[in-house]
């Protein structure tokens, strides 16, 4: 593949031969769900603080809120996030949206930064953290500084500023070695990494701040999120952008273990939806609680690999170029097989969420399964991985 530019084929046919997950009952695909929430936001504008908004999830939340006429304060120290994500958000939301945005460059491990960020805010969506299980195993102290000290600083600063609603990112890693499937919020296992211990600590503090200070904390246990602005670079890049990058540059693709490890891959639009629902809910049953944020499906790494190849082959052809006259405009055909290597320490074997608690308490209804999410996301991955390679 090396040396070819790709262009996206405009009309996509839905001819996937891959097995599709059954969408659980009550989890109807309804593309208008985010639109409805957007309308609700517009009718009652508020001030939101999104921490980690130069990162993947935080930038998507910031964009959605600004597009729907909300005021947004962002805070980020660019440890794993990028200025270009913020620039892209501002370009997407136009002048009207951009004038509602204030950005504070700073570290949440510094309490004064957190105090400043919470001024005049109605709702906090706390996303800033150092992600990645392997990163936390390699250097737990650095991860703890952002993920525990920074978390407690944010929670305390919000309390002192009189902000009641504090929605925060937890993680499916808190299920540890529990073998139970699907994962139900009440039952977790022995934790398998420092990262999981940090996210569990966040949940403990979330519960304590509800009971002690009557704060409306809501923890969101994200299950393998993917989509636009997910970082394709670096040693701790997530599996989907890492594999797309390797396939496009004809490098070896590694699968840790036998490929039968499974995950509930969750498209970013579902995560945006759950954050907005959590920010707006007036159901007291939600406060002090943690919720699974997923689709309720489960795909193995082998299935994921097949899906990525399928989408690349279906959606892209080789761009016209003087250097490659014979092959231009031909569909690409990726047939490469992955290389299997050892299991990665700290990884959970299977992960599949029961999402009924989120459905029941805040009205969560995921709009995209992994297939619909990948159809939307693959173009972004190809463009951004190619752009990064060109620079
Ligand atoms: N992406 C996933 O699949 C996933 C799964 C489970 C949980 N999470 C959690 O969701 C949240 C967002 O994850 P993401 O995938 O967008 O990661 P990301 O790395 O893209 O974004 C995190 C952002 O937080 C910022 N940040 C980190 N430490 C900071 C600090 N001390 N002060 C200020 N800013 C800081 C980073 O610079 C980055 O912009 C994190 O809390 C993560 O642990 C993500």
pLDDT tens per residue across span 106-147: 999 999 999 999 999 999 999 999 999 999 999 999 999 999
The count of residues in the chain is 391
Spot the catalytic one: 175, 195, 205, 267.
195
For the Cβ of 266 lying below 6 angstroms from any atom of ligand 1, the answer is no
Largest CA distance in the chain: 70
What is the sign of the dihedral through the CA atoms of 242, 244, 245 and 251?
positive
Instruction: Give the number of other CB atoms < 10 A from CB of residue 156.
Output: 17
Give the DSSP H or E segment for 134.
Answer: helix 133-138
Sorted by sequence, the CB contacts under 8 Å of residue 287 that are 6+ apart come out as 210, 215, 216, 217, 218
For the Cβ of 54 lying below 6 angstroms from any atom of ligand 1, the answer is yes
Q: Which of 222, 228, 347, 384 to mutate to test the pocket of ligand 1 (most atoms within 8 A of CB)?
A: 222
* Cα separation, 289 vs 282, whole angstroms: 14
Q: What is the mean pLDDT of residues 333-341?
A: 90
For the Cβ of 287 lying below 6 angstroms from any atom of ligand 1, the answer is no
pLDDT band (50, 70, 90) for residue 22: very low
The pTM of the full predicted model, rounded to 2 decimals, is: 0.92
* Cα separation, 242 vs 323, whole angstroms: 27
- pLDDT at 123 (0 to 100): 98
Domain residue limits, the chain: 6-390
Tokens of 66: 């600004």
- pLDDT at 389 (0 to 100): 59
Checking if the pLDDT of 6 tops 90, the result is no
For the Cβ of 240 lying below 6 angstroms from any atom of ligand 1, the answer is no
Condensed to tens digits (0 to 9), the pLDDT of residues 302-317 reads 999 999 999 999 988 7
- pLDDT at 388 (0 to 100): 63
Would you call 205 a catalytic residue per the annotation? no
Which is higher by pLDDT, 390 or 206? 206
Which is higher by pLDDT, 224 or 27? 224
What's the whole-number average pLDDT of the chain? 90
Q: What is the mean pLDDT of residues 195-209?
A: 98
- pLDDT at 56 (0 to 100): 97
Q: Which of 127, 198, 199, 236 to mutate to test the pocket of ligand 1 (most atoms within 8 A of CB)?
A: 127
- pLDDT at 14 (0 to 100): 45
- pLDDT at 26 (0 to 100): 42
Whose alpha carbon is nearest atom 34 of ligand 1? 76
How far, in Å, is the centroid of ligand 1 from the Cα of 342? 27
Q: Which atom of ligand 1 is nearest to the CA of 195?
A: 43
Checking if the pLDDT of 332 tops 90, the result is no
CATH class of this structure's domain 6-390: alpha beta
């Amino acid at each position: 593949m090396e040396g070819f530019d790709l262009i996206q084929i405009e009309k996509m046919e839905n001819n996937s031969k891959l097995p599709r997950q059954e969408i659980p009952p009550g989890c109807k695909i309804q593309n208008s769900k985010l639109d409805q929430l957007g309308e609700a936001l517009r009718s009652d504008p508020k001030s939101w603080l999104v921490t980690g908004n130069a990162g993947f999830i935080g930038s998507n939340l910031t964009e959605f809120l600004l597009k729907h006429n909300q005021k947004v304060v962002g805070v980020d120290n660019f440890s794993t996030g990028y200025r270009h994500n913020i620039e892209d958000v501002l370009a997407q939301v136009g002048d009207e949206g951009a004038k509602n945005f204030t950005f504070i460059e700073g570290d949440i491990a510094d309490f004064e930064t957190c105090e400043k960020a919470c001024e005049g805010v109605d709702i906090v969506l706390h996303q800033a953290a150092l992600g990645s299980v392997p990163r936390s195993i390699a250097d737990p102290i650095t991860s703890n500084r952002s993920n525990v000290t920074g978390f407690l600083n944010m929670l305390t600063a919000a309390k002192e500023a009189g902000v009641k609603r504090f929605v925060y990112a937890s993680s499916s890693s808190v299920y540890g070695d529990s073998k139970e499937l699907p994962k139900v919020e009440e039952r977790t296992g022995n934790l398998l990494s420092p990262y999981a211990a940090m996210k569990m600590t966040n949940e403990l503090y979330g519960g304590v701040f509800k009971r002690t200070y009557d704060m409306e904390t809501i923890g969101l246990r994200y299950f393998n999120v993917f989509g636009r602005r997910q970082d394709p670079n670096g040693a701790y890049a997530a599996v989907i952008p890492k594999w797309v990058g390797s396939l496009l540059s004809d490098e070896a693709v590694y699968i840790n273990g036998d490929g039968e490890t499974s995950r509930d891959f969750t498209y970013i639009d579902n995560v945006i939806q759950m954050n907005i629902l959590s920010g707006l809910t007036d159901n007291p049953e939600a406060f002090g609680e943690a919720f699974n944020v997923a689709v309720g499906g489960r795909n193995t790494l082998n299935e994921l690999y097949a899906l990525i190849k399928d989408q690349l082959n279906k959606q892209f052809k080789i761009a016209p170029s003087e250097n490659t006259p014979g092959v231009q405009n031909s569909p690409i055909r990726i047939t490469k097989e992955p290389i299997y290597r050892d299991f990665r320490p700290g990884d959970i074997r299977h992960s599949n969420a029961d999402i009924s608690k989120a459905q029941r308490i805040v009205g969560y209804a995921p709009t995209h399964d992994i297939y619909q999410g990948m159809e939307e996301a693959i173009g972004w991955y190809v463009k951004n991985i190619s752009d990064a390679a060109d620079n």
